[in-house]
């Protein structure tokens, strides 16, 4: 029997309590897979209003008399297979809006303190200051948890500290704030240096995490390579290159219970690899919901995505004349940049019945898209991992992806070699430009005219292992290695 390792995951969103993107899916679906490996994960999340209202019973395990301007409590709860500790800090989290934005779509002005508080609470546990829970490992996710390893470094006392891991889900979001916040954030003056939290003259939350964590991971092997280059490093590639020996890419998996077309209650008709026909019912239902002409024979290309530059939505809009020229329909479900939302709406007006959209965040429609679209478009300019192509594989929507980051690691292009071996699962194109997207759209349209081949590609995708099994083992190995007592002694020295 392997010894139990206790991990504290510090994370700003977690499905099904609060979700704005893939981070929540990952944080919510990985822990159960690690139980089998002898790893017990407890997740620390902010007690946003939407989280507190979903929790019935909690046990108070700690009280902070003043956490950045008000009292706060750590409350423990177990919900299904998830062990949670919620940071209940009403002055920071009890409000409408999203975890990061006001109802008007602006960043919360006190975001540095909201997420410093999350990090400080994680650090308190990592430093052994919370009697009820002393983890062996503290695992911080993205910039919101980036100060955790830094606080642990600067505040370490005699008790030593847990080992730390920083996972990058997206290097584009770094949490950069004015240098004047150093004192108010509770960081010592000597932290303001290149070996500390300083980043381009300000304070970098993600930089701090990358600087001080014992190990760094990101969410696909290809993205791990990309971010250690000057081109893909988004200003921080130098630090990542210096730490390349401690940087590892571990591919995301999916929750196969939530994303299973044979049991999914959110779709119009259930189906599986051997009974794929009901997809047509889902397609018509999707067409109706997004305002497309109802036609089960039309090729339907779908997108379900944050509407941002990263995701290449503008390229799809530019390619629309050619795409629609092939006879295909295009459906968007998404929200994000206001200008991009407007541009999508304009396209719907320009091409009624052939382009459809729902602007907003709608979990149910996200499922219907996977079950009803024939192909899922992902022309991302960069993509740390991407989960929607994994859902697409499982639901028989053929992914059409830019060959970057995790998209490159998870979709097998149906080139001649793959076709000969019968292993292709989608279409890849490179570089992510309008022209290459257009030629990929032509390839999709030509595949669509070969139903037997189309079906084979769909089946290959539906057979692909997109679960957490392999990656959970890699995380477990990493945790166990870091929890080794000899190493912990060295960290405390
Ligand atoms: P990212 O985290 O960069 O947004 P991922 O592909 O990792 O990208 O994860 C996105 C997640 O958010 C998926 O679960 C996807 O279905 C979901 N999603 C994105 N936009 C929407 C939307 N407008 N409505 C419903 N679900 C969405
Ligand atoms: C980020 C990335 C996405 C990844 C997700 C979960 O939001 O943009 O590619 O899948 O995190 O790791």
Residue 407 Cα to ligand 2 middle (Å)? 11
Q: What are phi and psi of 489, to 5 degrees?
A: -60, -40
Q: Find all residues with CB under 8 Å of 343, minimum gap 6, and list them.
A: 313, 314, 317
Please state, in angstroms and rounded to a whole number, the distance separating the CA atoms of residues 307 and 318.
15
Residue of the CA atom closest to atom 10 of ligand 2:
386
Hey, what are 240's tokens? 């990542």
Atom number, ligand 1, closest to the C-alpha of residue 386 = 6
Measure Cα distances from 213 to 118, 206, 223, 243, 289 in Å.
16, 10, 19, 10, 46
Residue 249 Cα to ligand 2 middle (Å)? 13
Q: Find all residues with CB under 8 Å of 460, minimum gap 6, and list them.
A: 412, 422, 423, 424, 425
Atom number, ligand 1, closest to the C-alpha of residue 358 = 23
Ligand showing the shortest atom-to-Cα distance for residue 365:
1
Q: How are beta strands 329-336 and 300-307 bridged, if at all?
A: parallel
Atom number, ligand 1, closest to the C-alpha of residue 26 = 7
Eight-class DSSP state of 143? G
Residue ranges lining ligand 2, Cβ < 6 Å: 21-23, 26, 169-170, 219, 252, 383-387, 406
Q: Can you give the pTM of this predicted structure?
A: 0.96
User: Residue 406: how many CB atoms within 10 A of its CB?
Assistant: 27
Q: Is 27 within 8 Å of 14 (Cβ atoms)?
A: yes
Test site for ligand 1: of 14, 18, 23, 306, most ligand atoms within 8 A of the Cβ: 306
Angle at 195 between CA 190 and CA 200, to 5 degrees: 95
Tell me which residue of 162, 154, 167, 248 sits closest to 209, measured CA to CA: 167
Please state, in angstroms and rounded to a whole number, the distance separating the CA atoms of residues 203 and 196.
9
Please tell me the predicted confidence (pLDDT) of residue 420.
86
Q: Where are the alpha helices (DSSP H) in 326-468?
A: 338-350, 363-372, 388-395, 405-410, 416-421, 434-448, 451-463
Please tell me the predicted confidence (pLDDT) of residue 36.
86
Please tell me the predicted confidence (pLDDT) of residue 157.
81
Q: Is 460 within 8 Å of 425 (Cβ atoms)?
A: yes
Please tell me the predicted confidence (pLDDT) of residue 100.
97
Q: Is 430 within 8 Å of 400 (Cβ atoms)?
A: no
Residue 259 Cα to ligand 1 middle (Å)? 13
Q: What are phi and psi of 118, to 5 degrees?
A: -60, -45
- DSSP per residue, 65-118: S-SSSS-EEEEEEEETTEEEEEEE-HHHH-SSS-SSB-TTSPBPTTHHHHHHHH
Please state, in angstroms and rounded to a whole number, the distance separating the CA atoms of residues 439 and 200.
40
From first to last of the 493 residues of the chain, give the pLDDT tens digit: 456 999 999 999 999 999 999 999 999 999 999 998 999 999 999 999 999 999 989 999 999 999 999 999 999 999 999 999 999 999 999 999 999 999 998 999 999 999 999 999 999 999 999 999 999 999 999 999 999 999 999 998 888 999 999 999 999 999 999 999 999 999 999 999 999 999 999 999 999 999 999 999 999 999 999 999 999 999 999 999 999 999 999 999 999 999 999 999 999 999 999 999 999 999 999 999 999 999 999 999 999 999 999 999 999 999 999 999 999 999 999 999 999 999 999 999 999 999 999 999 999 999 999 999 999 999 999 999 999 999 999 999 999 999 999 999 999 999 999 888 889 999 999 999 999 999 999 999 999 999 999 999 999 999 999 999 999 999 999 999 999 865 655 555 5
Residue 273 Cα to ligand 1 middle (Å)? 24
Tell me which residue of 384, 471, 382, 374 sits closest to 427, measured CA to CA: 374
Q: Find all residues with CB under 8 Å of 294, minimum gap 6, and list them.
A: 284, 287, 288
Residue of the CA atom closest to atom 11 of ligand 2:
169
Q: Is 461 within 8 Å of 398 (Cβ atoms)?
A: yes
Q: Is 51 within 8 Å of 11 (Cβ atoms)?
A: no
Please state, in angstroms and rounded to a whole number, the distance separating the CA atoms of residues 119 and 100.
15
Please state, in angstroms and rounded to a whole number, the distance separating the CA atoms of residues 370 and 394.
9
């Amino acid at each position: 029997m392997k010894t139990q390792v206790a991990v504290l995951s510090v994370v700003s969103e977690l499905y099904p309590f609060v979700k704005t993107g893939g981070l929540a899916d990952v944080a919510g679906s990985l822990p159960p897979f690690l139980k089998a490996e002898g790893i017990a994960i407890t997740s620390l999340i902010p007690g946003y209003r939407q989280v507190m209202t979903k929790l019935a019973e909690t046990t108070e395990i700690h009280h902070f008399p003043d956490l950045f301007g008000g009292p706060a409590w750590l409350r423990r709860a177990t919900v299904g297979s998830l062990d949670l500790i919620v940071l209940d800090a009403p002055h920071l989290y009890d409000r409408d809006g999203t975890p990061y934005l006001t109802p008007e779509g602006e960043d919360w002005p006190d975001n540095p303190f909201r997420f410093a508080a999350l990090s400080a609470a994680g650090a308190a546990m990592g430093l052994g200051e919370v009697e009820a829970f002393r983890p062996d490992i503290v695992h911080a996710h993205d910039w919101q948890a980036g100060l955790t390893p830094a606080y642990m470094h600067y505040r370490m006392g005699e008790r030593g500290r847990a080992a730390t891991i920083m996972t990058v889900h997206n290097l584009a979001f770094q949490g950069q704030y004015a240098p004047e916040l150093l004192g108010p954030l509770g960081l010592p003056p000597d932290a303001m240096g290149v070996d500390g939290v300083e980043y381009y003259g300000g304070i970098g939350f993600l930089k701090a995490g990358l600087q001080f964590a014992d190990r760094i991971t990101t969410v696909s092997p290809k993205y791990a390579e990309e971010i250690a280059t000057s081109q893909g490093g988004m200003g921080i590639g130098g630090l990542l290159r210096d730490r390349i020996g401690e940087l590892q890419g571990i591919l995301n998996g999916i929750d196969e219970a939530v994303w299973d077309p044979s049991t999914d209650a959110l779709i119009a008709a259930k189906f599986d690899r051997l009974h794929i026909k009901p997809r047509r019912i889902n397609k018509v239902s999707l067409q109706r919901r997004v305002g497309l002409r109802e036609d089960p024979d039309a090729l339907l290309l779908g997108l379900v995505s944050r509407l941002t530059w990263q995701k290449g939505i503008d390229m799809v809009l530019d390619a629309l004349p050619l795409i629609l020229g092939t006879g295909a329909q295009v459906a968007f479900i998404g929200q994000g940049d206001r200008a991009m939302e407007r541009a999508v709406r304009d396209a719907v007006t320009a091409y009624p019945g052939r382009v459809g959209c729902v602007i907003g965040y709608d979990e149910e429609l996200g499922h219907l898209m996977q079950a009803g679209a024939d192909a899922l478009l992902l022309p991302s300019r960069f993509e740390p991992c991407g989960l929607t192509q994994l859902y697409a594989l499982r639901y028989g929507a053929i992914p059409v992806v830019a060959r970057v980051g995790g998209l490159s690691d998870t979709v097998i292009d149906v080139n001649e070699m793959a076709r000969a071996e019968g292993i292709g699962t989608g279409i890849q194109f490179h570089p992510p430009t309008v022209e290459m997207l257009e030629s990929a759209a032509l390839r999709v349209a030509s595949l669509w005219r070969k139903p037997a081949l189309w079906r084979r590609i769909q089946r290959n995708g539906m057979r692909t292992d997109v679960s957490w099994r392999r990656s959970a083992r890699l995380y477990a190995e990493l945790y166990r290695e870091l929890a080794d007592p000899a190493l912990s002694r060295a960290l405390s020295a």
